[in-house]
Every structure is written in C-alpha cells, then in structure tokens.
Amino acid sequence: MTILVTGAAGFIGSHLCRALLQAGEQVVGVDALNDYYDPQLKRARLDSLAQFKKFRFSQVNLAVDGALEQAVSPDDIDVIVNLAAQAGVRYSIDNPRAYSRSNLSGYINILEFARAAKNLKHLVYASSSSVYGEREDGPFRESDIVRKPSSLYAATKISGEMLSQSYVHLYGIPMTGLRFFTVYGAWGRPDMAYWIFTEKILRGEPITLYAAGEMSRDFTYIDDIIEGISAVMKQPPTGDDLHEIYNLGNSTPTPLMDLVQAVEQACGIEAEKIYLPKQMGDVSKTFADVSKAQAAFGYNPRTKIQEGIPHFVNWYRDFYKI
Ligand SMILES: NC(=O)c1ccc[n+]([C@@H]2O[C@H](COP(=O)([O-])OP(=O)(O)OC[C@H]3O[C@@H](n4cnc5c(N)ncnc54)[C@H](O)[C@@H]3O)[C@@H](O)[C@H]2O)c1
C-alpha cells in the first residue's frame, strides 16, 4: 500500500510517517516547508525519516494548481492523509490569506488529486476541535451542529468538512475527517502554549497567560493521535454515506493552570507569570466525546499531561541541548 501524507514535515505528519514506515508501508510525503515556524525544525523532522528506504519526499506547495500532480502520480496512491494546513488560531487574525491558500485552495487541489487517483481507497483529512466554537457545555459530539466558528482558522476547517462532503457526494470517494483536540508531544509546534511555556521557563523568562483562570483544553498526546489515525486509515467508510467524522481528543478538559504546573514540574522551575485577558479568536474550552471513535476503531487515548509533558520537555532539552 502506498500512502500519501501531506504536511509530512509538520508535527503530526512527521510522526505519522514514522509510524507508517515502521509498520513497513510505502510513504510519499509532501510539504511546502513554509516559514510559519522555524523551517529548520521541519527539515530536522524530515532528516529523522531519511533512514527509511520506503520514504520519498517532495517539496510541494499544494496551493499551486497542478504542483502535486507534477511530483506524485495520482494512480500510485492507495490512501491519502491530508495534514497540510495553515494551523493556528491567533495567526489567522493578521494573515487571513495564508488560510485561504493552504486550507481552501490547497485542499481543493487535494480533492482534485483524489478524484484523479484511480486506485484510491480512502482520503483521511485533518479537521479541528475549533469547529465547535465557543461553548459552555460539553463534551462535544460529532453530531453537534457546527455553524459558529470563533476564528477564520475554524471557518476554514468547517469548510474543509463541507468541501469533502461535496466530493463524497459527487464522486463517491470514501473520506474520513478527524477533529484533533490540542495535540502535543515531542517534535511539537513552537506556536503552541506548552512549547512557549517550556522555552520561556527554561530561559528564566516570564510566561504570559491569557484568561488563565477560565481556559481549559482537551490536551491529547501525539502517540494517542497517531494510533487513532493509523487505525481509522484502514477503515474507509462503507454503506450509503461514504463520509465519517470523528473526534480524536483525550476527553479530559484540563485547566490552563494545570498545564503550566506540569511544565514547571517537568522543568523543575517555577515560572514568573503575567496575566492578560483572553485573545481574539480563542475559545474558552474544548472537551471531546470520543465514544464514536472508540466504538468504530477502538480509539483509546491513555496519556495524561503528567506523563506526556515530561516526555515533551525531555525531548526539548535533548533537541536543543539544554
Ligand atoms: N496540532 C494540533 O493541536 C492540531 C489541532 C487540530 C487540528 N490540527 C490540524 O492537524 C494538521 C496537522 O497539524 P500540525 O500540528 O502537524 O501542524 P504543522 O504546522 O506542524 O504541520 C502542517 C504542515 O503543513 C505544511 N503546509 C502548510 N501549507 C501548505 C501548503 N500549501 N502546501 C504544502 N504543505 C503545506 C506546513 O509546512 C507544515 O509542515 C493541520 O491540518 C492542523 O490544522 C492540529
């Protein structure tokens, strides 16, 4: 089986490539290697995959029409996992067009590639917990109506689900959308809170907390996410509706202050804290109901932040030789 992983140099994409290659699969990775965060980190992730003979990588910007087809023949691909995207809620406030390029135009190019791929069995794509918008209640279920995005990022992720549905309906391509909930772990993302806290605390700098008392997130460890993606990939939807959507979260909304404590403990340093109000676009809470994924493919997230954060901090110290 040959699997196309887009966003292969990204956080989740590089972990997925490694897991698939370790399982003996043939993997074609593509990524634009853009500079939303340090491209050196993206290159280092790719370097860590170079040992695998069944891995091929091409630098491709999916937003450029036809660029993917020039690098990869659609007929060679059995499964697509689309993880390439412009991520981040806060960045979308000042850079809206980066989201329309990667998450809308880029995704339509993936759908067109999928339409041309004669041997394709399944297209799996990344959605996000942000589609649920600002909510007081929880847990969030896949059957909940998602019509009130709090950010442009969330709006493009809801759009991705709608674009997918149209291609399922028109061309009968089996598709699965995965709503990830705040993923963290080794080789993580430098724009996310757990990374920024670790970086600042280890440098002895103060950390800034936005709406610290009110915020909670369903932090999900990368290994749990990779197990979920690997399992669902093998199960294209069948029957009348060839489109399924699953939450991949941890089902444990964790106050931001608990995350801070976990990072402080792992670093062995208490942070100086600056408290500021909530930022535009942020939601107060995320909380996944994962029973649908549990029933369908045995999804079973196990990692608590007290275990996962020390793994990340150890990786960070090792990678940056601190
Ligand atoms: N990490 C999380 O907590 C989280 C939560 C919810 C959803 N997601 C989604 O999961 C997916 C993977 O996220 P991640 O955390 O690995 O992010 P990431 O930024 O580390 O990886 C995304 C990769 O996509 C690449 N990319 C962006 N635009 C591209 C384009 N036009 N053409 C080709 N490549 C392009 C980037 O260079 C990057 O390497 C994304 O779709 C993201 O929206 C992530």
Q: How confident is the model over 64-68, as a mean pLDDT? A: 98
- Note the helical H segments in 129-253: 152-171, 193-203, 222-233
Q: How confident is the model over 140-148, as a mean pLDDT? A: 97
- How far apart CA 88 and CA 209 sit, in angstroms, is 17
Query: How many CB atoms sit inside 10 A of residue 119's CB?
Result: 12
Contact 207, 201 (CB under 8 A): yes
Contact 102, 64 (CB under 8 A): no
CB 226 less than 6 A from any atom of ligand 1: no
Catalytic residue flag (residue 36): no
Predicted local distance difference test score (pLDDT) of residue 308: 98
Tokens 């994409």, located at residue = 13
Helix (H, G, I), strand (E, B) or coil at 57: strand
The C-alpha angle with vertex 185 and arms to 182 and 191, in degrees rounded to 5, equals 60
Confidence of residue 316 (pLDDT cuts 50, 70, 90): very high
Query: Which stretch of DSSP H or E encloses residue 17?
Result: helix 11-22
Which atom of ligand 1 is the closest one to the Cα of 127? 7
Predicted local distance difference test score (pLDDT) of residue 52: 98
Which atom of ligand 1 is the closest one to the Cα of 191? 19
Q: What CATH homologous superfamily does 2-185+222-250+288-302 map to?
A: NAD(P)-binding Rossmann-like Domain (3.40.50.720)
From the candidates 36, 153, 167, 194, give the one annotated as an active-site residue. Answer: 153
Residue whose CA is at the smallest distance from ligand 1 atom 20: 10
Confidence of residue 213 (pLDDT cuts 50, 70, 90): confident
Confidence of residue 209 (pLDDT cuts 50, 70, 90): very high
Helix (H, G, I), strand (E, B) or coil at 196: helix
Whole-number percent of the chain with pLDDT over 70:
100
Q: 206 C-alpha vs ligand 1 centroid, how far in Å? A: 28
Predicted local distance difference test score (pLDDT) of residue 136: 87
CB 13 less than 6 A from any atom of ligand 1: yes
Predicted local distance difference test score (pLDDT) of residue 214: 84
Residue whose CA is at the smallest distance from ligand 1 atom 15: 11
Predicted local distance difference test score (pLDDT) of residue 186: 98
Please, how many CA atoms are within 13 Å of residue 169, restricted to the half-sphere of its CB? 6
Confidence of residue 239 (pLDDT cuts 50, 70, 90): confident
Confidence of residue 212 (pLDDT cuts 50, 70, 90): confident
Confidence of residue 150 (pLDDT cuts 50, 70, 90): very high
Q: Model confidence over 28-46: pLDDT tens digits?
A: 999 999 999 999 999 999 9
- How far apart CA 248 and CA 172 sit, in angstroms, is 24
Which atom of ligand 1 is the closest one to the Cα of 153? 43
Contact 154, 89 (CB under 8 A): yes
Q: 88 C-alpha vs ligand 1 centroid, how far in Å? A: 9
CA–centroid distance for 182 within its chain? 8
Contact 277, 211 (CB under 8 A): yes
Give the predicted TM-score (pTM) of the model. 0.98
**Conformation bin of residue 37: beta by default, left when phi > 0, alpha when psi is -120 to 50:** beta
Any idea where the domains of the chain sit in the sequence?
2-185+222-250+288-302
For the cut 80, the answer to whether the pLDDT of residue 25 exceeds it is: yes
